[in-house]
Structure 1
Amino acid sequence: MKLKIAIIGTRGIPNHYGGFEQATEFLSEGLMKRGHEVSVYNSHNHPYQKSTWNGVHIIHCYDPEYIIKTPGQFIYDYNCIRDARKRNFDVVLFMGYTSSSIWGKIFPNNCAIISNMDGLEWKRSKYSKPVQYYLKYAEYLAVKFSQYYIADSEVIKDYLDNHYKIQCKYIPYGADLYNNCKEDALDNYSLTKWNYFLLMARMEPENNIETVLEGFHKSNSGKKFMVIGNIKERYGQYIAHKYTRDDRIKFLGGVFDQSIVHAIRTNAHLYFHGHSVGGTNPSLLEAMASKVLIAAHENDFNKSVLHNDAFYFSDFQDAQYLINSVERNDTEINMINNNYKKIQEQFSWEKVIDSYHEFICACYHQFKKNL
């Protein structure tokens, strides 16, 4: 059956921004190839201005975020929802809820509404208490005004099912498998294989960047430590300044050439993943797909993906111990291979898109049955 599907909640495709945009890029094209008519809502000032992209319809709506910052996100989502009400979509899929669920009373009422419930945004320490309170309320509204739900983490699914007494569908995020490696990219950074540690993340407290770097700073390692991420914001500046005298630590800023990112990632001696809040984190899956040895912050989100195929840390002493002691023997090679196999069998985009396709069709049929 051919369905008319709309995707709302991202800045648009092709991806120029982040995880939800990347997921929407893969998902929209994949659903179109499976026979559906797919429309994605884009910000009016998105770099891509055409009306179609790889067979996917693009609907541009006015987005004042570039003028008024965060409040503009709410206006943009309102404009998208108002437009969707005028079209005969069979299914509307919301990617996230932080600035859309407040408009729940005007969601289209003639189609199935599915919400991807994102991470537990209200737990993020970067937000003030009033913002955290609002995000928890927005989560409640998303549950109230949607009919069907997706969680990209089993931990989040369990929380939503138990807290709101709903039946949430677990569909993970996806990742591409990396095979080719542009090893000469290391030369630009004076790096050699397995002679450096790596951390790649947004400069935010809940990503435990200071914890990891403090562990390295106190270690006796002769290796370098490479940090990829924007250090222009306040917290990034603080971190860079704190460790400016440790000449082993190198801040590369944002690196956007994915072939270079892959080369730096796959050749690292140990990759630190410090994320402590959220669902199935895209950067973690990409690290697994790059065949790099992983040390992850010890929490349920990371352990539900990595299981026993990673080292774990909770504080800077743990990080320091791993930096001083981790070697590359058969056990470590097996951990790397097991994670790569997980990407092949559980987290490939084809499998993720198949799961979305099956769930969306099932939701539509259930919606029609309930009319």
Structure 2
Amino acid sequence: MKIAIIGTRGIPNHYGGFEQFAEYLAKGLVERGHDITVYNSHSHPYQQPEWNGVKLVHCNDPEDKWGTVGQFIYDLNCIRHSRSQNYDIILQLGYTSSTVWGWLLPRKKSIITTNMDGLEWKRTKYSKPVRNFLKWAEYLGTVYSDHWIADSLGIQDYLTKKYNIPSTYIPYGAFPFEEAESNCLASYDVKEYDYNMLIARLEPENNVDTILEGVSRASNKSPFLVVGKHNTKYGEYLKNKFASFGHIRFVGGIYDINVLNNLRYFSNLYFHGHSVGGTNPSLLEAMASQTLICANRNEFNSTILEKDALYFSNAEEVTKCLDSIRKQEYQSWVDNNLHKIKHIYEWNKIIDQYENHFKTIYSTQHEIQQNIPS
């Protein structure tokens, strides 16, 4: 099948979860014999027309000049280009800045299937007018798509109750990480199992402030690595607030998956503060890299982790975990989470589910067309 993926900044990943997902999915589908195109920002660091057999289309992205408005223009440019192609299927990732252009999607030529992402309108960083807009954008995502994908059972239940639409549940995936090497630790001045960490976009709904407040109060002064781009307004706020705590280290974004896996593997505790949306890719990667996870207490995290993690709801619980928990005492939880990755969330299994979804909607569409009287 000829399939396009829109809704990301592009691949290879230099940004976040959707980009990492698009990278793995596109490469996996090419290996299964499909013709895959991913739409990239014109400013993406990788400027070649192809990556590991995946075709890349670079569209003008004025976000660096116009800010948020530029995201909408970029999505418009991607959709306009898709109209000139003959894709069998277009996979749309998310809805925040794309579904306002949904009426332009080439639905007569291509089947549109949308990964509805999380509940973006719940993000506290947005003002009330923006959150109201996101609710509307979410609704448009249900109007201008032919099929829908939910990345968590919670999102699938929400789509059924809110919009009465059927959706296909396909979570994100991860590759098991079992060949750890401690060589990269020296670059971050940390020692095996003698540091704690988090990886996240530095945004309020990821509970970074709550986690770091707990870190600052803890008696345990082992290094705490904060991995994520911090040259933002909120990042500056966090750096200023915790500037007097030398063991809290803002190390910036890291996009080398091998480095990330090793840092997670050799950490004592890994904090996952995401509270909005479905299955977060970084949570599955943490499970796959055999780290002991302390997650924000919410249904999206607990559905995946079940009883094999620590949970926190406030800074006091973060402090308690840091001062009393050692990874070696919870190896069975680590092993259980790795088992889930291998048997439920392993990337090849997830790619198979996406391929089956594409085959199903493609064959169904052709059956409908064949039964339409000429």
TM category (shorter chain) comes to over 0.9
* Shift in alpha-carbon separation, 1:5–1:169, aligned structure 2, 3 A: same
Residue 118 of structure 1: how far off its partner (Å): 1.0
Structure-1 separation of matches of 2:34 and 2:213: 50
Residue 60 of structure 1: how far off its partner (Å): 2.6
Match of 1:228 in 2: 227
* Shift in alpha-carbon separation, 1:47–1:215, aligned structure 2, 3 A: closer
Structure-1 separation of matches of 2:297 and 2:260: 24
Q: Comparing 355-364 with 197-206, which one deviates more in the overlay?
A: 197-206
Structure-1 separation of matches of 2:204 and 2:220: 24
Give deviations 1:176-216, integer Å, cap 9, x for gaps.
22222231222233322221221222211111112122222
Structure 1 contact 182–260 (Cα < 8 Å) conserved: no
Match of 1:200 in 2: 199
Structure 1 contact 125–205 (Cα < 8 Å) conserved: yes
Report the TM-score when normalising by structure 1.
0.94
For the residue of structure 2 that corresponds to 1:163, the secondary structure is helix
Residue 222 of structure 1: how far off its partner (Å): 4.3
Structure 2 contact 217–319 (Cα < 8 Å) conserved: yes
Report the TM-score when normalising by structure 2.
0.93
* Percent identical residues: 48
1:272 lines up with 2:287 in the alignment: no
* Shift in alpha-carbon separation, 1:314–1:85, aligned structure 2, 3 A: same
Match of 1:246 in 2: 245
Match of 2:152 in 1: 153
* Structure 1 segment 49-60 matched on structure 2, within 5 A: 49-60=47-58
Match of 2:16 in 1: 18
Structure 1 contact 126–204 (Cα < 8 Å) conserved: yes
For the residue of structure 2 that corresponds to 1:346, the secondary structure is helix
Structure 1 contact 182–259 (Cα < 8 Å) conserved: no
Structure-1 separation of matches of 2:128 and 2:305: 31
Match of 2:84 in 1: 86
For the residue of structure 2 that corresponds to 1:57, the secondary structure is strand
Structure 2 contact 14–255 (Cα < 8 Å) conserved: no
Paired residue type of 2:262: A
Match of 1:362 in 2: 360
Q: Comparing 257-266 with 196-205, which one deviates more in the overlay?
A: 257-266
Give deviations 1:224-263, integer Å, cap 9, x for gaps.
3222223322222222222222233222233344333322
* Shift in alpha-carbon separation, 1:237–1:36, aligned structure 2, 3 A: same
Structure-2 separation of matches of 1:179 and 1:21: 24
Match of 2:45 in 1: 47
* Structure 1 segment 99-118 matched on structure 2, within 5 A: 99-108=97-106, 109-118=108-117
For the residue of structure 2 that corresponds to 1:92, the secondary structure is strand
Paired residue type of 1:195: D
For the residue of structure 2 that corresponds to 1:360, the secondary structure is helix
Match of 1:62 in 2: 60
Structure-1 separation of matches of 2:256 and 2:53: 26
Structure-1 separation of matches of 2:192 and 2:137: 46
Residue 329 of structure 1: how far off its partner (Å): 5.0
* Structure 1 segment 31-42 matched on structure 2, within 5 A: 31-42=29-40
Q: Comparing 223-232 with 297-306, which one deviates more in the overlay?
A: 223-232
* Shift in alpha-carbon separation, 1:46–1:198, aligned structure 2, 3 A: closer
Match of 1:258 in 2: 257
Structure-1 separation of matches of 2:35 and 2:183: 42
Residue 110 of structure 1: how far off its partner (Å): 2.3
Structure 2 contact 196–270 (Cα < 8 Å) conserved: yes
* Shift in alpha-carbon separation, 1:16–1:365, aligned structure 2, 3 A: same
For the residue of structure 2 that corresponds to 1:321, the secondary structure is helix
Residue 369 of structure 1: how far off its partner (Å): 2.7
Match of 1:336 in 2: 334
Paired residue type of 2:212: L
* Shift in alpha-carbon separation, 1:185–1:119, aligned structure 2, 3 A: same
Match of 2:372 in 1: none
Residue 340 of structure 1: how far off its partner (Å): 0.8
For the residue of structure 2 that corresponds to 1:73, the secondary structure is helix
* Structure 1 segment 155-234 matched on structure 2, within 5 A: 155-234=154-233
Structure-2 separation of matches of 1:160 and 1:33: 32
Residue 49 of structure 1: how far off its partner (Å): 2.8
Paired residue type of 2:89: V
* Shift in alpha-carbon separation, 1:248–1:44, aligned structure 2, 3 A: closer
For the residue of structure 2 that corresponds to 1:83, the secondary structure is helix
Give deviations 1:304-346, integer Å, cap 9, x for gaps.
110000000101111122112223455x100000111111111
Structure-2 separation of matches of 1:243 and 1:48: 35
Residue 358 of structure 1: how far off its partner (Å): 0.1
Residue 69 of structure 1: how far off its partner (Å): 2.1
Paired residue type of 2:242: Y
Residue 169 of structure 1: how far off its partner (Å): 0.7
Residue 359 of structure 1: how far off its partner (Å): 0.3
C-alpha RMSD of the superposition: 1.7
Structure 2 contact 125–204 (Cα < 8 Å) conserved: yes
Structure 1 contact 175–349 (Cα < 8 Å) conserved: yes
Match of 1:304 in 2: 303
Give deviations 1:275-303, integer Å, cap 9, x for gaps.
11121111111111111111100000100
Structure-1 separation of matches of 2:328 and 2:197: 19
